[in-house]
Amino acid sequence: MERTFCMIKPEGVQRGLIGEILARIERRGYRIVALKMLRLTPELAARHYAEHEGKPFYQDLIEHITSGPVVAMVLEGPGVIAALRQMMGKTNPLEAAPGTIRGDYAIDLGHNIIHGSDSPASAAREIDLFFTAVELEG
């Protein structure tokens, strides 16, 4: 079974979209292996967005993701990485198709509601950043 990391960003939490997003994931048939609400520290945010360090938008990413609580989760199921990316829609909500999470709820590129790992390697790295082995048991 494939696993991926998913995070509802501060604007999704603030706007009360947690239940809607979780329902979409569960209706699709994927299992939520682990789930928690937390507020990212600047250090954790920097590790999460390490590949963007040095880019012009990096500081905005860090400030945004640490601005409020997020919901982090690990999802499991066949093809879950690609399927979640499809469910989320394009990164820029203006280009995201209606029916996708971003197409239905996101406002702009800087506030696009949700993050999902883009490959097995990033899924493993991000899961390890946010969850301990004990939290993933069961």
Phi/psi for 90 (5° steps) reads: -60, 150
Cα R_g (the chain), whole angstroms:
14
Torsion of CA 34, 22, 108, 104, to 10 degrees: 160
- Residue 121 identity (one-letter amino acid): A
What are the residue numbers of the active site?
115
Burial 37-55 (b: 16+ CB within 10 A, else e): eeebeeeebbebbeeeeee
